[in-house]
Structure 1
């Protein structure tokens, strides 16, 4: 893994091949969410991941936040690393929405959305603040919480429903990378204000995201997890949400990756092998 900074954005490159994948992480995540996939790049490929502003080692970059700003950052990184029109663009969770916006602005060989990217309509009768509390309340609470030690932070994630019963060295590396602060008061690197602003953008930007998806000229591939953020039986993108978009986007290829949840799709060895193959095939 090679690390560098681009205008304050921390980026990491896995592999050394000329064919490139530009990868975007989720709303409270970091570039290390892509490490397991990046380390399994076949010969001839490299994967470039970045810490979005307000996250990881890009946490010090100022706002305004929002998915348009992230899309601009992604395209700037793509230009910096020389990712041409034969590059693949991918994003997980919120990163899928950012990838849709960036993919609508310039040519990529393919755009691969991983358990994200399809607009999430507001529930009937619910205002954005209520929806934010329902969807991001626990995450925002974690970002404002402090922990007495690294081990306490690791224990917090070991007990998370998505990781309970599933733990690996790469999950632990991902969690440790997110940790900052003085001894006895450790916390996540993610900036709560950035997460809240981006979450609100997703909830209010459904129409914009739909327009972006329809404007993407590259082939679109959606990879879905059958289980959700808390390992519940209903995934983030259930059939009821996905099927209408398959009708609106006839070129969209839809695939469910078996036996994973919203997080383990990026860490489980079998799922990672599937993702690496889909990202580099075609």
Structure 2
């Protein structure tokens, strides 16, 4: 099992309606860059634990819990990807970071691209991890059905309660994309999501937030076009396998070409031996993300 990263600091920044919770892994050398990391639709800031560990103090990593998730659960609506992008911009502005690198995973990649488009003076470069490219819905399907099919257990748990923390751990260990890589760090990340008291523990994710944000990932034109309108350099990393560790990944060269991504402007690389989640915390995935964040070469050779 890999060594755990140092425990992140926790801070808050003011945003409309309240305060946004942020995890901070500080750099160990003065003058190193700051990276803002945006998590996925039902995740929380601790999803970036392995990226933080592999950065090894070479950058400060700031990972907010998005509005309606984790320690930002009490931060109410309106939700939506534009709202999250403006929250990320508020974080950058409040902390005086200046133009900074922003990285986003899954839904966080759409938010990252929107942040750059809406606030170009605050973002120097974006790294998009298995997200940000939108495809048309298959004809006759509703967005809620597509979300349920794509997210699977990650979405289903939002309507569930759990008698204790061990039951929540057992739930996640059955997830095909989690079980093979299970570690104390993944356990800490999933446990951070729990709120309530036994025997009625539940996910911190606000269902309205997930439904609103998910529909926009699938249907919102501004979100869909953001990756094609980036005002700064962009890089896309995509996983070899899908959200349930299935062979059918979200992206491949053909789908990216069909989407019309200008790969002269947005460098796109496959990260082998990863699924939608292990691209963040597996060795191949996290190392690829870190190389991109530090500007030290392609994700895969």
Range of TM-score over shorter length: over 0.9
Instruction: Work out which of the residue numbers 94, 97, 112 in structure 2 matches 1:83.
Output: 97
Question: What is residue 232 of structure 1 aligned with on the other side?
Answer: 246
**Aligned 8 A contact 1:136 1:199 in 2:** no
**Aligned 8 A contact 1:56 1:178 in 2:** yes
**Unaligned 5+ runs, structure 1:** none
Cα distance change of structure 1 residues 100 and 241 upon mapping to structure 2, 3 Å threshold: same
Instruction: Work out which of the residue numbers 90, 94, 102 in structure 1 matches 2:115.
Output: 102
Question: What is residue 133 of structure 2 aligned with on the other side?
Answer: 118
CA distance in 2 between partners of 1:43 and 1:155 (Å): 33
Cα distance change of structure 1 residues 133 and 12 upon mapping to structure 2, 3 Å threshold: closer
**Aligned 8 A contact 2:86 2:115 in 1:** yes
Instruction: Work out which of the residue numbers 18, 43, 55 in structure 2 matches 1:29.
Output: 43
For this pair of structures, how many residues does the alignment match? Answer: 280
Correspondence 1:190 to 2:205? yes
Question: What is residue 127 of structure 1 aligned with on the other side?
Answer: 142
CA distance in 2 between partners of 1:251 and 1:194 (Å): 32
Two-structure CA RMSD over aligned residues (Å):
1.7
**Unaligned 5+ runs, structure 2:** 1-7, 297-301
Correspondence 1:54 to 2:61? no
CA distance in 1 between partners of 2:263 and 2:285 (Å): 25
**Aligned 8 A contact 2:153 2:175 in 1:** no
Q: Secondary structure at the match of 2:222?
A: helix
Q: C-alpha deviations, 1:71-123, integer Å up to 9, x for none?
A: 010100111222212x2111000000000100112232211000001113211
Q: Alpha-carbon deviation of 1:209?
A: 2.4
Question: What is residue 252 of structure 1 aligned with on the other side?
Answer: 266
Correspondence 1:12 to 2:23? yes
**Aligned 8 A contact 1:68 1:98 in 2:** yes
